[in-house]
Structure 1
């Protein structure tokens, strides 16, 4: 500690529940050197420089619990590790990643701190932590700091690495219902739920979205024919092969017409209200560049609307607006587009912008629209002249509450006819609050994988909870997408307990995965030899769609190094309090530090679940208060103090009375088996299962509501299947 600098000793991504929180975090070990003797209130000008760079720090409540709390700590005096925590969180927030949890704790070594921040992506969190160190040092040393460059880098990372807004809104909605989420790739493929109960989403598509339906929706001509057959109003039209056919079709259909690609997307290549052969033929060329086929159809007067259908129900609607500019007599069309349209903060190139940026040199439909008005990008419109740049693709105004019930029913029917569980239905109508037929309105497109941002961030009107609607479509009201997970922590005996519990779950009729120190198993078939402890092995079970229940053994080391591989569990078993030996690299030197680590296993027990705890280990018994669910104590002696007190209060316990294994809920008792039974001789003899291991396994099975008769039969038969070993 001889330097006036902040040095990173180690930086770890804890990917699951850990000693700090339920969520993934970046844990950085930092040595602040001589700065240990220089709290913030002793550094001239530090407060002013830091708050000038990051005025948003005023919102950090810190331990004070109110706005401005962290700034109060800064003025009173706090240390660089704690300051780094808040700076890193603020940098993530400014980059568009909302996080709020952070901790800074000193280790037993002077000047060495563990700094922890919540992050939604490992790479972003690491860069934010490193940038926080550099910014804090710049403020200490009165040096300039390029905050704009740092935020630019972080924003780019958030945009490219984190979930897009459509997927994120569904993940957030799932979290509100306690449905777990696992990101399956670097894109937007996400698993909601675990194992056999999971569903998958990919932006606004789900594993219920039919590939055939998606193919139909891309063929606009086929979509219209199917809709028309089922009585859904659609504009008359047909596919054409060249500009001449396009004009012939326009004359047959009747002017004005619209020309569009058969696989139009986001309004690209779509031209409206065409009245002359020159306009139609030019529109054909624009559409032909965008799609595989070109359609000419009757132009429907009115305003464009996008209605979102989820699970057969209309859940949101937006109305479009025409993009226009107003001439000033000095600026060109291109300059006016930049200053009056693209300057809108809602426009951008990324998915999280509800409106696209208009690039005249790339957007041929806009170019054609200008030509129809006798203009081009270099023209200078007269002052006050209103110029239409784009007629479609600007769905920005929420009108959900105005949609007529008949219109809602027709768009739901359109999605059903195509076969899409989630669809964006485009229609044109003068008044969305009236039935389509009476105003000559029509449905013009049915789209798979619709964008959701227009409903989440409309320019006017109320944002709609479309993510919640999709999650409710995938999961029934009482379904959290969870499978029974049994998590175990303790000593060496935990492995045998895990194998016994997996066997009993298997016999109960569930396809059961097991990750333990002896390997990775599925339905008693060994998939991998060697230790299967750790985050990656446990996740493999939860991703497997065949797994109906999972048993996952963990250790204090893996909790410290990675976090648990699941967010919550139905049953958490602690067989004993491990010692601190071997954990020195984590700054764990005393056995008294272990309960704070092992309690993580109890912290994650669901409210409808149970913690199964060894009552004969006082340190384990004291963890009972951390369980959100029930507590089941086990001990070889029914007089064990913690067990006896718990039973006296009406709690569930199990113990040995002589050689009999007894379950008790308050005064009610059930005798499960006698350890001297000949049928158990293999279990307790050659397999060497100890009474404590047997009690822990039975306690977990009891917590899973496995019947005593099945528990008894399972223990008798354990070890007879050679695939187990």
Structure 2
């Protein structure tokens, strides 16, 4: 740490005097063990619902810290915070513990300055309903974070030790983000009068900017009002965006260390360096799961998502979720949308009316028969060249020309109202289901539609590592004009406008998990369609009026579905199960191994 960094971490004189007054040893960051007579509770541990905060600086010796962290409960994540001598702690349990590669930041409350402007579109308050806890866990799971025990959070929602704050959408009342705070004074009679921030997460589908910053500010203001001296947090060393936010708010690095127990949740932090090659999220989610199970990963063509997985004498080449297990026949059936439809119809599944675009007269007749149609290239993916809800002959001809840029053969299809439902089938099992919604903007009464689209596109790109953007093309302009606006129109504040008809992620769409809600008939239709195509891994696309009812039509099939889009559902796990079934760990296997180690265990 540089001298300039050290000087910024040193508390102001007023803080040093305050700490001297309560009898603690003063030092940079003031992380030394509280002296006798300070009133701090020894061996302080705080249950947070997802694991325990182990305040290591309150422990009498390092061995006790190691023993406490080693007793972590299964399915939880404990954090040893303020570890003074991490190398010594690790020496007592070198195979169980590891030094977390995170930085600790501190905000001195006397230096905090409130925001100049109030956030618009959402408000922040403590958790107040059980439904909000479900939403919190959905957000945590999406980010790969530990979920919180709902009963624990509900019973502790008014605790002075813990505080869970949520950001709530003013219009929909949906939970948009969450943060947890720990009050050290109430947790262990902290003589330093501190507090800390944990588990900050924002729904990646949230349309409002600044949610994370607002949650941090509100928590800081809450503890400042209680008279707390500082707010600390731990952030991964490579999370530069989060660090930039915290430094903007006045947080500064302090020399504190964190120790955790080795477990499945933390595995990527201690298994060694990641593969140097950069893969997109759809390949990376599979690679991470494979490495976790000891399956070797060999990059082949990272730019295109190709890699080889191998274990023992078995090796499988993958391109994201497409593998050698998918035959050329099955792939060609998915690639040709007309063939996909015909196979599904022959299997007794419901499909929309469809024809091949031909002479202008026949195209117009098909349009007149159904009133509204979808125009799509017979071959293609990611929504490219597709025009939806075409109602006029002029728009029909223009849409056909657009589709021809992607395929010589163009299909006209009956337009069916409803939501775009993607069902993931892996190994003849439905693993995940999600509603895909088209790109949508919300007016603010000031900016033109063009500017709102550009902002929404930037937010979607940031939330999806560049995978999702809203194209500024003829189809977007057509959708806007169909709604009675132009690119330069100014939407009223709060006015919602869909700027695309297709719900593909790559054209700015958003994805909303409905796995636990879909009607059994819809799941069965997807399974039967996968069987008809004879494909082991597929994303089946259906149009449905309501996911909880049995009405549907099958639109198409994707032989290379984006598994990362369906977290927290276990898509990558089921994918690796299919390829390497010998790596599957079942509850019965765990119990058997435990019995082998200790024949007297229950």
TM-score range, shorter chain: 0.5 to 0.7
Alignment equivalent of 1:471, drawn from 576, 581, 598: 576
Larger Rg: 1
In 1, the alpha carbon distance for the partners of 2:565 and 2:424 equals 10
Find the counterpart in structure 1 of residue 564 from structure 2. 453
The CA deviation at 1:285 is 2.8
8 A Cα contact 1:326 1:383, kept in partner: yes
Distance in 2, Cα, partners of 1:61 & 1:289: 63
- Match in the other structure for 1:219: 336
The answer to whether structure 1 residue 238 and structure 2 residue 355 are counterparts is: yes
3-state SS in 2 of match to 1:312: coil
Matches within 5 A, 1:370-409: 370-381=480-491, 385-391=495-501, 392-393=503-504, 394-409=509-524
Q: Tell me, yes or no, if the aligned pair for 2:374 and 2:413 is still in contact at 8 Å.
A: yes
Q: 1:313 aligns with which of 429, 445, 458?
A: 429
Change (3 A) 1:239 1:430: same
Shift in CA distance, 61/263, structure 1 to aligned 2, threshold 3 Å: farther
Taking structure 1 as reference, are residues 342 and 59 closer, same or farther at Cα in structure 2, changes over 3 Å only?
Answer: farther
Partner of 1:250: 367
User: How far apart are residue 337 of structure 1 and its match?
Assistant: 1.5
- Aligned equivalent of 2:461: 348
Counterparts in 2 of 1:301 and 1:70: CA distance versus 1, 3 Å? same
Shift of 1:332: 1.3
Give CA deviations for 1:301-330 in whole Å, capped at 9, x if unaligned. Answer: 111111101111211000122433344443
In the superposition, relative to structure 1, how do residues 86 and 298 fare at CA in structure 2: closer, same or farther (>3 Å)?
closer
Q: 1:433 to 1:421 in 2, by over 3 A?
A: same
Establish whether residue 46 from structure 1 lines up as the match of residue 6 from structure 2.
yes
Are positions 1:170 and 2:286 aligned together?
A: yes
Distance 2:375 2:301 in 1: 37
Give the equivalent residue in structure 2 for 1:368: 478
Which of 345, 351, 354 does residue 228 from structure 1 map onto? 345
Partner of 1:133: none
Deviations 1:194-229 (A, max 9, x none): 352233332111220112211221111121112112
Distance in 2, Cα, partners of 1:418 & 1:237: 19
Match of 1:425 among 540, 561, 573: 540
Higher relative contact order (CA 8 A, sep 6+): 2
Q: Which has a greater percent of helix?
A: 1
From 299, 303, 306, give the equivalent of 2:419: 303
Deviation at 1:442, TM superposition (A): 0.3
The 8 Å contact of residues 243 and 284 in structure 1, kept in 2 or not, is answered as no
Report if the CA contact (8 A) 2:440-2:497 is conserved: yes
Using structure 2 for the length normalisation, give the TM-score.
Answer: 0.52
* 1:192–1:117 CA distance, 2 compared to 1 (3 A): closer
Check 1:93–1:301 CA distance in 2 against 1; reply closer, same or farther (3 A cut).
same
Partners of 1:302 and 1:433 in 2: CA distance: 12
Structure 1 distance, partners of 2:343, 2:286, is 31
Distance 1:61 1:288, change over 3 A: farther
1:120 aligns with 2:273: yes
Q: Is the 8 A contact 1:286 1:364 kept in 2?
A: no
Query: Does the 8 A contact of 1:179 with 1:192 survive in 2?
Result: no
- Contact 1:167-1:203 within 8 A present in 2 as well: yes
Note the alpha carbon deviations across 1:7-28, whole angstroms, 9 max, x for none. Answer: xxxxxxxxxxxxxxxxxxxxxx
Superposed CA deviations along residues 382-436 of structure 1, whole A, max 9, x for unmatched, are 5565432013223511111122222212111112222221111110011222223
Equivalent position to 2:386, from 245, 255, 270: 270
Partner of 2:400: 284
Cα RMSD for the two superposed structures: 4.3
Q: Give matches, 1:429-448, under 5 Å.
A: 429-436=544-551, 441-448=552-559
The DSSP-based 3-state class of the residue aligned with 1:120 is coil
Deviation at 1:476, TM superposition (A): 2.8
Structure 1 residues 85 and 229, CA gap change in structure 2 (3 angstroms): closer
The gaps in structure 2 that reach 5 residues or longer are 12-28, 32-52, 70-78, 89-98, 105-234, 243-257, 261-268, 586-591, 598-602
1:337 matches 2:453 = yes
The residue number in structure 2 matching 1:511 is none
DSSP-derived class of the 2:397 partner:
helix
- Output the CA distance in 1 between the equivalents of 2:100 and 2:431: 43
Q: What is the CA distance between 1:193 and its match in structure 2?
A: 3.3
The answer on whether the counterparts of 1:173 and 1:468 sit within 8 Å (CA) in structure 2 is yes
Counterpart contact for 1:283–1:368, Cα < 8 Å: no
Aligned twin of 1:203: 320
Conserved? CA contact 1:269–1:364, under 8 Å: no
Q: CA–CA distance in 1 between the matches of 2:528 and 2:7?
A: 61
Deviation at 1:43?
5.5
Q: Secondary structure at the match of 1:400?
A: coil
Distance in 2 of aligned mates of 1:181 and 1:305: 34
Instruction: Please report how far the alpha carbon of residue 445 of structure 1 lies from its aligned counterpart in structure 2 after TM superposition.
Output: 0.6
- List aligned pairs for 1:493-504, cutoff 5 A: none
Is the 8 Å Cα contact of residues 255 and 275 (structure 1) preserved in structure 2? yes
CA deviations on 1:165-210 (whole Å, 9 max, x unpaired) are 333333333345x342222325133333335223333211122011
Alpha-carbon distance between aligned partners in 2 of 1:352 and 1:417, rounded to the nearest angstrom = 34
Deviation of the 1:466 alpha carbon: 0.5
Q: 2:531 pairs with 409, 412, 416, which one?
A: 416
Q: What SS does structure 1 have at the residue aligned with 2:516? A: helix
1:60 shift after superposition: 12
Matches within 5 A, 1:686-725: none
> Which residue does the alignment assign to 1:34?
none
SS in 1 for 2:581: coil
CA contact (8 A) 1:424 1:447 kept: yes
Query: Which residue number corresponds to residue 114 of structure 2?
Result: none
Q: Structure 1 length normalisation: TM-score?
A: 0.44
Matching residue of 2:471: 359
Q: Whole-Å Cα distance in 1 between the matches of residues 324 and 385 of structure 2?
A: 30
